[in-house]
Amino acid sequence: MTTALRLAEQHPTAKRWLSFVLLVALGLLGNYAHFPIFLNIDFLFGSIFAMLALQLLGLRLGVLAAALIGSYTLVLWNHPYATLIVTGEALFVGLLYQRRQVGLVLADALYWVLVGMPATYVLYGLVMDVPMGNIQLVVVKQSINGIANALVARLLFSAYLLNRRTALVGLRDMSYNLLAFFALCPALVLLAIASHHDVAEADRHLRSELVQDDLRLRALLEHWLQERTDSVVQLSRMAASLPSSQMQGPLDQARLSDDNFLRAGLLDSRGTVLQYSPLVDERGVSTVGQSFADRPYYESIQTAQGPMLSEVVMGRMGPPSPIVTLLAPVRRNGVFTGYISGVLSLEHLRTYLERSLGKTNQRYLVLDKNGAVILGNRPEQKTMAIFHRPEGVRTAYSDGSFRWTPLLVNGRPTMEQWQHSWYVTESCVGSLGEWRLVLEQPVEPIQKALATRYTRLLGTLLLTLLAALLLAEWISRRTLATLGQLNELTYQLPAKLAQHSVQVEWPRSGIAETRALIRNFKVMAASLSDLLTRERQINERLDAQVAERTAALSHSLLEKDALLREVHHRVKNNLQVITSMLRLESGRSEHPASRSVLQDMQDRVRSMALLHETIYRVGTFSAIDLGDYLRQVATQALRALQSGTEGIQLRLDLGHLMAGLDQATPCGLLVNELLSNSFKHGFPAGQGGEVWVSLQPINEDYQWRLQVRDSGVGLPPDFAARRQSGLGLKLVEGLADQIGGRLEVGPGATFTVVFRCAPAALAT
């Protein structure tokens, strides 16, 4: 079971869900606090917490956390495919990490190489139709971002385990991750700093060039207009001092000498043509006498104190086409008497402006005061159409320029914004600012240049990172291989030291600390081997002494056993002699009472003799099987009463109990006494029946129950009085006290003694 699964099982359900919510919130915050490299290419930090959830909470909650955290890219990048890739990353890594025991960082690197990079190519290229240059950048950026986040997550998880001290962290895993981290982190930091500097520098340089181009182009346009204005002003002065009939020549001269004029004419105060060059238009229609009082500039020219530029209007002379006119009022003695009109050649002006553009990808528009397009090189903008910039975000700069960024289209990546974004300058042209010059520089060239540059840099970094991971794996294995061998060797060292003939082969290492550790283990092993050798020698001497003493004790014990057997044999013989003497004396006695007493004494002595016979036969002197002994006592007691007991059945239920001699002797006498009373008084006149003798344990506290009962006539009514005066019952009670029990008399003729067998006897 992996560390993640063990930790997941240790967390209560409520705590797990609280941890899950916290990690998801931190992941969303990490994605929100993204670090832009340039132009909507961002490093995200949310998957760090998804990988932490994977390690802390297990596969299911880890994948769910990754999906929720990755959903922020819907807002940030305007498409769902990054969420799919991040969720797939958590699933792939979780399966390898938890079920295949593959390292987290290595599993993540395998995901990006085998799954993540191809999936990004397919989703961005085939589904969203992103240009190949941008796809390559996204692929390498996403891969580095994912591996770096997995690396950070693993280091944070290792720090968490070290702080808890409830789970172990592998030194090889830590060294591997640290080597990879310190190979990647400086490169990423330097790359981020360089990218910000490059973007800022490219932005500043492009805007500076655009502003300079705007100043230059505006100056050229102002100069071009000024030359035409001078001609028109000169004609207006001549018209103020000459009769209108004399203005045809100057008008022709002005038009023919400057091909930037298409037409030139003198109009009276009512807007009617007095003189015009040429006199007929391209269709052969006379130009004199036509009225232009309906032109939008007519009222303005009447009050104008100097030359002015007109709005773009549709021309009436010749083929209809958009025209703009340079106007100058004619005043005689301060009274408005008409004006000079010079129709400018827009094609000449277009050629002049396009030759003067700073870059081929620059776009320009010249607008009149109403915002109508006079001319420009934006193909989608028609002349005379009102210029409306689409909806977007306008970012103003201190140099007067601004950047216009279009709004996102659903399902399209945010990087496409920059393909349609422009740096823009707008400036007024004309003595009265009647025209507006709009100059635009696309952001796309910067994006392409930076994308190309950083695709190479990030690609190099990705290859370096993969190489660093392989190198870190090799270094960590080589560095810690000796420790692994040393661990295995020290585990087997006790067994090898016990086999003193086995030669221990110590590993070698080129690392000073590891070599010192091996040297210390060698010294320790040598010391232990010496101690074991000494201990073995001491044990051998002790074994010899023990064997010698054991032999002596065995011999002494044999002598003791022989002596005890002889003692018990002689005691048994003496008791049998006493029994014989009592039997002879009983046979000679003429008094029944005397014979009864002698018979009782004979039975009691026989019971004791039977004990010594059993000890002599078995050969154990400290304890005997009490059940077996009582069986012999009961059998001998029944056999001793040779007459009157033919109809009596003896029932024995005797357990196996090893009892000491101090308990066995009283028990034998007690059973003998009770059986004798039962045979004599329980079955009068040859009556038959059964007598039961049982010995059984009561509980585990060494309590045993010894019981004798019969099916005879029962106890007499005056039993209580007899119990106080009868010698036999007093003897039974005394024997019960001697073994630590108490005699209890039950219904019928049931005698029970509960006693505790000494543990020493049981253990013997």
CB contact set of 249 (below 8 Å; sequence gap of 6+): none
Distance CA 414, CA 163 (A): 41
Q: Is residue 408 pLDDT above 80, yes or no?
A: no
- Average of pLDDT values for 469-490? 71
Please state the rounded mean pLDDT for residues 22-45: 84
**Count of residues in the chain:** 764
Amino acid letter for position 94: G
* Mean pLDDT lowest among 163-167, 508-512, 613-617, 735-739: 613-617
69-105 confidence digits (pLDDT tens): 989 888 877 788 889 999 999 999 989 988 777 888 8
Per-residue pLDDT at 147: 87
Q: How confident is the model at residue 628 (pLDDT cuts 50, 70, 90)?
A: confident
Q: How confident is the model at residue 343 (pLDDT cuts 50, 70, 90)?
A: very high
Q: What pLDDT does 760 receive?
A: 45
How much is the pLDDT for 551?
A: 81
Q: CA nearest 310: which of 293, 328, 322, 297?
A: 297
Distance, in Å, from the CA atom of 694 to the CA atom of 388, rounded to the nearest integer, reads 119
- pTM, full prediction: 0.56
Burial 95-105 (b: 16+ CB within 10 A, else e): ebbbeeeebbb
Q: Which residue has the higher pLDDT, 579 or 178?
A: 178
Whether the link from the prior residue into 716 is cis, omega within 30° of 0, is no
- Please name the fold of domain 623-763: Heat Shock Protein 90 (3.30.565)
Give the model confidence (pLDDT) of 242-286 as tens digits: 998 899 999 999 999 998 999 999 999 999 999 999 999 888 888
Mean of pLDDT values over 439-443: 87
Predicted confidence band of residue 1 (pLDDT cuts 50, 70, 90): very low
> Hey, which bits of 465-563 come out as E strands?
none
Q: What is the mean pLDDT of the chain?
A: 80
Rounded mean pLDDT, 667-696: 82
| CA dihedral sign, ordered 649, 653, 658, 661 | negative
Q: Tell me the domain boundaries of the chain.
A: 3-169, 525-621, 623-763
DSSP codes joined into one string, 409-455? PTTS-THHHHHT-EEEEEEEESTT--EEEEEEEESHHHHHHHHHHHH
- List Cβ neighbours of 243 (8 Å cut-off, separation of 6 or more): none
| Degrees to nearest 5, angle at CA 398 with 392 and 400 | 65
**Residue 707, helix vs strand vs coil:** strand
Q: Would the pLDDT of 32 be above 80?
A: yes
pLDDT exceeds 90 at position 395: no
How many Cβ atoms sit within 10 Å of the Cβ of residue 200?
A: 11
pLDDT of residue 306 exceeding 50, the answer is yes
Q: What are phi and psi of 399, to 5 degrees?
A: -85, 5
The CATH number of 3-169 is: 1.10.1760.20
Domains 3-169 and 623-763 share a fold: no
